[in-house]
């Protein structure tokens, strides 16, 4: 009997040893994923905003590491047409209310997100080395001026404001043969910088961005409709919350400081 109990005890000890040696070592748990989802925002923006937004992009992406801003710059009318035709866009930044109104009427923007974020003024410019010696819009019928660069009135807000100004002064029809039309306000600026036009009509912010032009005159506010820039989230945006966050930043003190640095009001 004693041998029997000793045998059972030995077997029990062997069983305990086997269990302890085959016990699975707990595996370290996988580290929690802390990376936020990456978001790319497509911003359709008026060409006059190019310099200001490129600086804002650097600052915004530094403060929002999960978001990348991609810009599509152009004339506001053409950008609105692209959005109407289904081109991908998260935010529309227009240089005129007219183009934004058109999208709102078609429910192509989130009207609750719409807000005016800056203003501008209209100026007459010439190249720095130009000998043109006029100091007002009223003098544009000067014989020394063969070419006047303006934006296309149908698609470029700056061109529309230029036409309103010259219509107010009863000069548009008499000067139409001298007009050189740009596809956006930056092309108008280039025409003057390159000497392809003696003078041009652009925003004050564009003139401030160039070292190669000088301002001859500033249009009176009553000559044209108010130059106001509205922004809104596009209804088809795949990232509406991120788009709203960008608009909020644009209208914050940080955003306003950058816009003012580049000549916006």
| 242, 90 contact by CB (below 8 A) | yes
Q: Is 89 annotated as a binding residue?
A: no
Q: Is 185 annotated as a binding residue?
A: yes
Q: Is 158 annotated as a binding residue?
A: yes
Question: Tokens 């002064």 correspond to what residue?
Answer: 169
Q: At what angle do helices 240-250 and 50-63 cross, to 10 degrees?
A: 110
* Apex 26 CA angle, 22 and 28, nearest 5: 150
Q: Is 204 annotated as a binding residue?
A: no
Q: Is 76 annotated as a binding residue?
A: yes
Backbone dihedral region of 263: left (phi > 0), alpha (psi from -120 to 50 degrees) or beta? left
CA pair distance 45, 81, nearest whole angstrom: 13
Question: Tokens 């922004």 correspond to what residue?
Answer: 231
| Residue stretches of the annotated binding site | 48, 76, 158, 185, 203
| Residue stretches of the annotated binding site for molybdate | 48, 76, 158, 185, 203
């Amino acid at each position: 009997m004693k041998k029997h109990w000793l045998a059972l005890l030995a077997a029990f000890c062997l069983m305990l040893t086997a269990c302890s040696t085959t016990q699975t070592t707990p595996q370290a748990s996988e580290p929690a994923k802390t990376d936020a989802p990456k978001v790319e925002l497509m911003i359709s923006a008026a060409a006059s905003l190019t310099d200001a937004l490129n600086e804002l992009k650097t600052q915004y992406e530094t403060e929002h590491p999960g978001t990348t801003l991609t810009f599509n710059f152009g004339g506001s009318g053409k950008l609105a047409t692209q959005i109407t035709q289904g081109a991908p866009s998260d935010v529309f930044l227009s240089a005129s209310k007219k183009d934004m109104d058109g999208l709102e009427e078609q429910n192509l923007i989130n009207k609750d997100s719409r807000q005016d974020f800056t203003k501008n003024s209209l100026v007459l410019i010439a190249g720095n080395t130009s000998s043109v010696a006029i100091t007002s819009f009223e003098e544009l019928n000067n014989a020394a001026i063969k070419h006047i660069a303006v934006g296309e009135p149908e698609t470029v807000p700056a061109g529309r404001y230029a036409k309103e100004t010259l219509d107010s002064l009863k000069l548009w029809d008499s000067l139409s043969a001298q007009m050189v039309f740009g596809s956006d306000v930056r092309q108008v600026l280039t025409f003057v910088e390159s000497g392809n036009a003696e003078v041009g009509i652009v925003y004050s912010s564009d003139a401030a961005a160039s070292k190669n032009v000088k301002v001859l005159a500033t249009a009176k506010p009553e000559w044209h409709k108010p130059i106001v820039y509205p922004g809104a989230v596009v209804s088809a945006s795949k990232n509406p919350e991120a788009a709203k966050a960008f608009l909020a930043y644009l209208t914050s003190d940080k955003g306003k400081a950058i816009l003012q640095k580049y000549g916006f009001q």
